[in-house]
Structure 1
Amino acid sequence: MSGPRICFVTSYPLSRQDLGGSGWVDRRLVPMLAGWADELEMLCVTGPEGDWSERVGEHEVPARAAGAVPLELRGDRRALARIAAGMLVSPEPYLARKFSVFPGWRTAVALLRERAAGRRVLVSGWPGLVLAAAAGVPVAAYVAHNVESTIAVEHSPRALRMLGEIPRLRRMERRLLGIPDHVFTLSHRDAAELRGEGVAATALPVPLSPSGASAGRAVGFIGKASWPPNERALQVLLGPVHDRLSTMDVDVEFVLAGKGTEQYAEHPRVVGAGPVADVADFYARVGVAVVPRFGSSTGVSVKVLEAAEFGVPSVLPRSLAEAIDPDGPWLVAEDADEAAEAIRRWHRGELSPDAADWACKQDAARTTALLRNAFA
């Protein structure tokens, strides 16, 4: 049976692993798509202008981008002022205006219109959905990495709240979710939330690539420190979790990885911090990963899944565990004290979930069937 010709729209080149978890998901979806599509090409919202190829597993996938459309602007005050001024005359939320206000956006819109001709469009992540809506192209399927308005409620800064970011974003997100023929979420909780609001969403399991078990003995955290949920998580880990472990006389070391984590290198428990060239080196040192994201949550923590691929269990709140698999190899902790207690019990050998076995049991066949059905 002949497969479809697919234009896969993603946020940034898959080789840019430093830019966040979105690419981690796409690096697992792309080989699956390449296995049954007649033709697969990638279009990146931002990236080097022109054409190149991405090597993903056994597949060489052609990729394109229109050029520099900024994704991260928290440190650029001039750009933020330009966006804020644009929001005064536009109903767009910050999470759309941060793209559309820049000249490169128009070029990206034109490029997608060109590449969508004669192809079915699959969008992965919010920036790609905003681009597809601006280009006015049909979208066969959308993979929502998060419910963006949920993140805004928890983390949107005061200045954006005063500009109406939360209601703007909620209206736009619900409107854009009506564009795709099929909406998939990475999180079971997100799928249920969207279905409750009338969006026919289905949870899409992320295919994993198990690589055995780690013999490391440190507590690990990996992620870009500037992303607000990660910034807050690090404050919890290095503050109250560290303090509670000290009270319980638990002598365990922390290894932090990811852009910006080097600022914590002088913390008394931290024995390694900063970007890593190979995540395998990080997980070789780590025996348990900590994801202390308390409060509202959306999506899945791809770092929890990545850790499981390396045979490393995670300490995480119940909401994140239920988003992936409530029966998975997790050490569930609802606050800093419970996180410290979970680490204590793991460190002393009282808790040792088998993450490697769980990762091996994850069946990619359902992911393949759901995506193929979206293009039937």
Structure 2
Amino acid sequence: MEKIVIKVGSNLLIKNNDINKKYIIKLSYIISELIEEGKKVVLVSSGANAAGLQYLKLHPLKSLAQKQALCAVGQVQLMKIYENAFDFHNKKIAQILLTADDFYNRKRFINLKNTLIGLNQFGIIPIINENDTISTDEIKFGDNDRLSSQFAIGWGADGLMLLTSVDGVLDENGDVIKVYDKNIQIKEFKKTSLGTGGISTKIDAGLSAAASGIKTCICNGNKLENIKEFVSGKNVGTVFMPDKKLKGKKAWIAFLSKSRGKVFINKGARDALMNKKSLLPVGIEKIEGNFEKGEPVNIYFNNKLIGKGIPNYSAEDAVVICGKKSGDIAKIGNFDYDEFIHVDNMVIF
């Protein structure tokens, strides 16, 4: 593995209602060693809320405005701790605060990737968290499991580690599932009072990352030796084995973009897509949604989601040309593309 994303949650970072500085010191040592070995590491870290509470000597707050203000204060304190910890190893850090919009919007996503390239060139360690100070329900991840998975996909990581306080995903008998299988009945745990994601959110994150070709594990973060073992190729905790690796635009379309509409196709079009052909208007049966040209849409056959793509036409234009042959479209008006979605701008699941 060359590029690794490590997510550490509040339940590991907080002890006695304060940031566990000893833990961060140990974590920074291991990450610094990996970087000395030539690895590229991104850390996704929770803990801003707890750091803010401790700094301001407050009890947990209920007002959304107060919580957002608290995170703004806590981020500064949390980064100070990380800065001091990594400074022991002569490593510099950078903070990146994200919302889901930073992934949905293609231009902002490209800007994020360019920032990471620059940080890597300088040898600086990015520390990622959700931008709680400006997040609303529409652009909120809600938990850092989902954020870390989407970040790993967008960055093209080789490995993703979701560090938690248990040894992995447990089956109903309490035994660790070595390689995740969705058919195995799992043991559910209540969310911690500090974290926002439970085991189900970690599983969803693991499945998404693995589907994009990223080997993922859910493992015990109290055993920090798990990090180097996983990076060296050993299976620790519960592993999600990677599928085919999607890169660049295809990965963004499949896992990061937000669909704005639905396209329902016939059997002929489905067969063409399975043979890596473009989607033509003649194969479209129905359009739903109010999307513009270039806004991602989901593709359905027999009401089953089979793919996702970026259309050359808006929903308004699509209603006019759907079901029509390319030769007939040219007679209707100013429609420049033969393909409704070109094969290069489409992913079939």
TM-score, length basis structure 2: 0.26
Bigger Rg, structure 1 or 2? 2
For normalisation by structure 1, the TM-score amounts to 0.25
